[in-house]
Amino acid sequence: MKSAFYIALGMILAWAAAPAASQGDVPPAVRAAAGDRAEIDATVRAFITPQAILWKSDDSGETISGASVLLKRGTRQPATVRRGLCTLTSQPGKPAPAILFDFGIELQGGLQLVLGMSDGKSPVRFRIRLGESVSEAMSEIGGVGGATNDHAMRDLVVEAPWLGSVEVGNSGFRFARIDLVDGERTVLLKEVHAILAYRDIPYLGWFRCSDERLNRIWRTGAYTVHLNMQHYLWDGIKRDRLVWIGDMHPETMTICAVFGANPVVPASLDYARDVFPLPGWMNGISSYSMWWVLIHHQWYLHHGDRAYLEEQKAYLVPLLGQLMAKVNERNEEQLDGRFLDWPSSENEPAIHAGLQSLLAMTMDAGAELCDTLGEGKTAAECRGSAGRLRRHVPDPNNSKQAAALMALAGLAPAAEMNETYLAVDGAKRMSTFYGYYILEAMAKAGNYQGAIDCIRQYWGGMLDLGATTFWEDFDIEWMDNAGRIDQFVPEGKKDIHADFGNYCYKGLRHSLCHGWASGPTAWLSEHVLGIEVLEPGCKRVRIRPQLADLAWAEGGLPTPRGVVRVRHDKRPDGSVATSYTAPDGVEVLIDGARR
């Protein structure tokens, strides 16, 4: 057996021979010992002090005292002191001491507890409950509409060390409740922090206008996606911490508008490609395989990475062939794995209309990608298939989602779809996922004012209920007599989190941070700022603002060559004065004229 000296000497020599650690690399010792087993995570952490204490199980000072100290910024370092700490005392016959914290904004991560020098050195048990709403943080697991631990532990009992700290939880939350579990104990609690895990990336794109409500909505959509940009691009940070490739399309458009070419998108696209080999559909859903093609089309248009697109050829070309084989002799799609979004999931005629449209759009995108890849035969076949699909015009069956896709695919005139379906009832019968495509179709019909009004009502409605990120789903009619998520629900009011939701998101299982709900962020940048990408890599863009009832708007769009910045001001006669700056290598057209 080797002596400890020789083992240590071998490790030192290995460290010395290893390359010096660069910024973002693991320490040389770990690299030498672990090699490829060590992987750098893309996220960093921030520790957040609570903004407020919303509730305590005891206000008398008998079982809880000094709780306000937990609202002060701490050091995260245990210390051998007994003064100036929060004291929790469990007593027989009395409720266990418990405190509900509000951290002020939705976060992705966990919780840190820092303990003081309590009597007795044995670990102490706490029950931790994380919630995206006050109701969820105060809830029990299970029951109709009850909270769950699906995908992430948000209700758990942990042991904390004497004179130490513990980090627990990995979920999406704004509120946290802690209960002292052990009986007949006195515990000194020094600090409580939320741990935010996020990508430390700049917000390159930006948007401001004369309506602060729209500004808040743009920022909230950007932040919603930012939280979901973890090691892959997730659907939600509490539930659905998964790569749902179709749901990624609105998220990808937001990333293009805000963050530019972030590696989380290619990583997630490749993950889905590799996990779901042909002839299977991505996530078992045919529309999601089509969204994979459409995402690649937009990603290449915005970033122009030809080498990355080449890597997709071996999967893309057979996928397009597989999709084309799903068109029958009557030019109707015959896809299996049928799904658009949850609110339309029981409307089979609408699903058919949506899939018919989505398949035509995919054929268009596939043809352009195949042209770029030198796959002329497949490109021609895609164009032929797209033409055939447009000869069959289904009935959207009063579905805004299906009508929007029909307008975008050119299966029906956008103006007709807008007048008959999209502009009817304002923000009613929308969904947070397909709301983006409803807005896009309204823009195609020239109904910019109607789209902006829907953004104010629908996404603004979530803000009015206390949202700091956008939700998995929302129905504007839920707002009637509903309480806010950041308050205890007053007697006689509906609980917007616990009392609503359908399908897989009933009650408190409903995710209140879902990246697919970020559509207005991308839409406002493209249509109000009017920055439209015309050639791959943003080599050529068009600036065509649509201010509707806004007095002014300004912002920027990231490109591979830098940020295009614009400012629009409405003149007294209703015309718009536009100024802009663009990086070298980006050609700008304004209303078709090069400037």
Q: What is the pLDDT at residue 24?
A: 65
Q: What is the pTM of this model?
A: 0.94
Residue appearing with tokens 């042209």: 371
The answer to whether the beta carbons of residues 370 and 319 sit under 8 Å apart is no
Q: What are the structural domains of the chain?
A: 4-40 (no CATH), 45-198 (2.60.120.260), 536-594 (2.60.420.10)
- The answer to whether the beta carbons of residues 219 and 208 sit under 8 Å apart is no
Residues of the chain with pLDDT below 70 are 1-24, 592-595
H/E element holding 131?
strand 124-131
Q: Determine the pLDDT at residue 14.
A: 42
The pair phi, psi for residue 272, each rounded to 5°, is -65, -40
Helix axes 264-275, 286-303, angle to 10 degrees: 150
The predicted-structure confidence for 569-584, as pLDDT tens digits, reads as follows: 999 999 999 999 999 9
Dihedral angle at the C-alpha atoms of 360, 364, 367, 368, nearest 10 degrees? -160
On whether the CB atoms of residues 520 and 439 are closer than 8 A, the answer is yes
Q: Name the 3-class secondary structure at 21.
A: coil
Which pLDDT score is estimated for 594? Answer: 57
CA–CA separation, 339 and 89 (whole Å)? 53
Residue 484 identity (one-letter amino acid) = R
Q: CA 265, CA 298: separation in Å to the nearest integer?
A: 11
- Amino acid 163: pLDDT: 94
Nearest to 435 by CA among 477, 470, 389: 470
Query: What are φ and ψ of residue 542, in 5° steps?
Result: -115, 135
Q: Residue 370 has what DSSP assignment? A: H
Of 359, 411, 358, 413, nearest to 385 (Cα)? 359
Cβ neighbors of 492 (< 8 A, separation 6 or more) are 481
User: Could you tell me the two tokens for 439?
Assistant: 């807005």
Return the closest-CA partner of residue 241 out of 542, 514, 586.
514
The CA angle 8-14-18, to the nearest 5 degrees, is: 145
Contact by Cβ (8 Å): 152, 48: no
Phi, psi of 95 (to 5 degrees): -60, 145
The C-alpha atoms of residue 195 and residue 183 are separated, in whole angstroms, by 28
Calculated CA dihedral for residues 305, 308, 313, 314, nearest 10 degrees: 180
Task: Supply φ then ψ for residue 356, to 5 degrees.
Answer: -60, -45
> β-strands 165-180, 98-115: how paired?
antiparallel
Q: What does R_g of the chain's alpha carbons equal in angstroms?
A: 27
CA distance 131 to 123: 25
What pLDDT was estimated at residue 595? 53
Q: What is the pLDDT of residues 292-311, one digit of tens each?
A: 999 999 999 999 999 999 99
Give the list of residues 6+ apart from residue 61 with CB closer than 8 angstroms, or none: none
pLDDT of residue 119: 86
Q: What is the DSSP string of 183-243?
A: SS-EEEEEEEEEEEEE-------EEEES-HHHHHHHHHHHHHHHHHBSSSB-SBSSS--S-
- Judged on CB neighbours under 10 Å (0-12, 13-18, 19+), 407 is buried
pLDDT for res 9: 40
Please report which helix (H) or strand (E) contains residue 109, including its range. Answer: strand 98-115
